[in-house]
């Protein structure tokens, strides 16, 4: 189961559109019917580039929340170029470079690989990350104090990992061995499993790393995990989130329960999660963007975190496994 310049000239926009045709992305234009721009920005227009690593429920919700918050602030005065990298970090770099060439006013980087590409691609254009679990890990910061500085800030999707570990003790107290399933190419996923391992082992569980390099070996790794693990934990891992059907098709028949790091993964293959609302996270990122576009100093902006966490569960899967769920969990629907 985790970071403004002027509008481009018409000729550059045409070149950028042609370049992005090979990136598998899509663009969205200006909003309609939104509130008018505030007086201090009247007459100004803003072009915001959104680089999203991959399409799945959590990241889609964050992008939508981000756009809605900026539309609320600026109405028709803001336009978006939303590009999806289809899970390829190299494509993130291509997308970011096109935004830099177009001299966009701000870049929203949705997920760690998008943030890393944005940090490498520009030191001038403001970059806001979202759906990034740990900025120190993502950006290899040795002295991170909550503020990245420079042209980068954003929001984190980190839910309390000690709280996620408690889901095992509450729902699966008799489990002995827990497989930590994650993509080894996602540094924030490794950060999460390394952290939660300590909490789980302190609670008496044995933890086994079950990492996969990309979507091509998920089925093999998950199949192996069902043979020697009693349950699985999946952090806020983008590759896993894009392949929940494969994971569920292997684990459900084998009777292996999964605790997920976020709601989308839980809906796809889990029994329970302690999750944030990614739409709200995107909204918070959009509010930060509005402040920056109104002249705020991004270098002084601390990383923001989700304010609320909810224990959620899939009733049908829990019932099949004979798991009793406490009353403070909220039922959600499987996908």
pLDDT, tens only, 73-100: 999 999 999 999 999 999 999 999 999 9
pLDDT given for residue 43 in this prediction: 73
Whether residue 45 is found in the same domain as residue 108: yes
Does residue 247 have a pLDDT over 90?
A: yes
Dihedrals φ, ψ of 69, to 5°? Answer: -65, -40
Q: What is the pLDDT of residues 204-214, one digit of tens each?
A: 999 999 999 99
Yes or no: say if 278 and 61 are a contact pair by the CB < 8 Å rule: yes
Residue 2 lies in a domain: no
**Burial of 302 per CB tally in 10 Å (0-12, 13-18, 19+):** exposed
Whether residue 111 is found in the same domain as residue 196: no
Q: Whole domain around residue 138: which residue ranges?
A: 10-157+278-302
Kindly report the average pLDDT of the chain as a whole number: 89
Q: What is the pLDDT of residues 15-27, one digit of tens each?
A: 333 333 334 343 3
Does residue 38 have a pLDDT over 80?
A: no
Global pTM exceeds 0.75: yes
DSSP helix/strand/coil, 52: strand
Whether residue 110 is found in the same domain as residue 179: no
Whether residue 288 is found in the same domain as residue 199: no
Residue 262 lies in a domain: yes
How many domains are contained in the chain? Answer: 2
Alpha-carbon distance of 252 to 185, in angstroms, equals 26
Element (H, E) at 290: helix 278-293
Residue 3 lies in a domain: no
| Torsion from C-alpha of 256, 262, 264, 266, nearest 10 degrees | 20
List Cβ neighbours of 63 (8 Å cut-off, separation of 6 or more): 50, 52, 82, 108, 110, 282
Residue 59 lies in a domain: yes
Yes or no: say if 181 and 209 are a contact pair by the CB < 8 Å rule: no
Residue 194 lies in a domain: yes
Whether residue 286 is found in the same domain as residue 323: no
Whether residue 328 is found in the same domain as residue 181: yes
Percent of the chain having pLDDT more than 70?
A: 87
Residue 5 lies in a domain: no
Does residue 56 have a pLDDT over 60?
A: yes
Element (H, E) at 199: helix 187-202
pLDDT given for residue 335 in this prediction: 87
Whether residue 147 is found in the same domain as residue 180: no
Whether residue 121 is found in the same domain as residue 140: yes
Residue 33: pLDDT band (50, 70, 90) is very low
Residue 4 lies in a domain: no
Whether residue 153 is found in the same domain as residue 185: no
Dihedrals φ, ψ of 75, to 5°? Answer: 55, -135
Whether residue 325 is found in the same domain as residue 180: yes
Alpha-carbon distance of 27 to 328, in angstroms, equals 41
CATH of the domain at 171: 3.40.50.2300
List Cβ neighbours of 329 (8 Å cut-off, separation of 6 or more): 272, 311, 312, 313
Does residue 10 have a pLDDT over 70?
A: no
pLDDT given for residue 155 in this prediction: 98
Residue closest to 288 by CA, chosen among 129, 146, 141, 132: 129
Residue 1 lies in a domain: no
Whether residue 212 is found in the same domain as residue 292: no
Percent of the chain having pLDDT more than 90?
A: 85
Whether residue 74 is found in the same domain as residue 165: no
Q: Which of 11-20, 60-69, 215-224, 253-262 has the lowest mean pLDDT?
A: 11-20
């Amino acid at each position: 189961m985790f970071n403004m310049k002027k509008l481009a000239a018409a000729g550059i926009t045409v070149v950028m559109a042609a370049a992005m045709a090979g990136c598998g992305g899509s663009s969205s234009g200006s909003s309609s019917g939104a509130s008018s721009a505030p007086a201090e920005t009247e007459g100004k227009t803003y072009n915001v580039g959104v680089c999203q690593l991959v399409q799945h429920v959590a990241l889609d919700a964050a992008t939508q929340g981000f756009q809605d918050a900026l539309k609320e602030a600026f109405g028709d005065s803001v336009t978006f170029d939303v590009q999806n990298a289809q899970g390829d970090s190299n494509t993130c770099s291509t997308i970011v470079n096109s935004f830099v060439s177009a001299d966009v006013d701000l870049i929203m980087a949705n997920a760690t690989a998008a943030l890393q590409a944005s940090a490498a691609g520009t030191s001038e254009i403001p970059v806001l990350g979202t759906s990034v679990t740990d900025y120190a890990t993502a950006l290899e910061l040795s002295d991170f104090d909550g503020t990245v500085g420079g042209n980068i800030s954003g929001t984190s999707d980190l839910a309390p990992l000690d709280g996620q570990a408690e889901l095992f003790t509450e729902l699966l107290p008799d489990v002995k061995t827990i497989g930590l399933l994650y993509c080894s190419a996602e540094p924030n996923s490794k950060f999460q499993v390394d952290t939660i391992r300590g909490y789980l082992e302190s609670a008496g569980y044995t933890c086994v790393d079950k990492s996969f390099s990309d979507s091509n070996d998920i089925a093999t790794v998950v199949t192996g995990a069902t043979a020697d693990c009693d349950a699985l934990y999946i952090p806020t891992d983008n590759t896993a989130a894009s392949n929940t059907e494969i994971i569920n098709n292997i684990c459900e028949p084998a009777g292996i329960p999964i605790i997920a790091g976020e709601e989308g993964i839980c809906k796809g293959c889990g029994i329970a999660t302690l999750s944030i609302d990614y739409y709200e996270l995107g909204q918070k990122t959009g509010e930060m963007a509005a402040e920056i576009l109104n002249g705020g100093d991004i270098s002084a902006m601390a990383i923001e975190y989700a304010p609320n966490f909810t224990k959620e569960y899939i009733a049908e899967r829990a019932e099949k496994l004979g798991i009793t769920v406490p009353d403070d969990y909220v039922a959600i629907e499987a996908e």
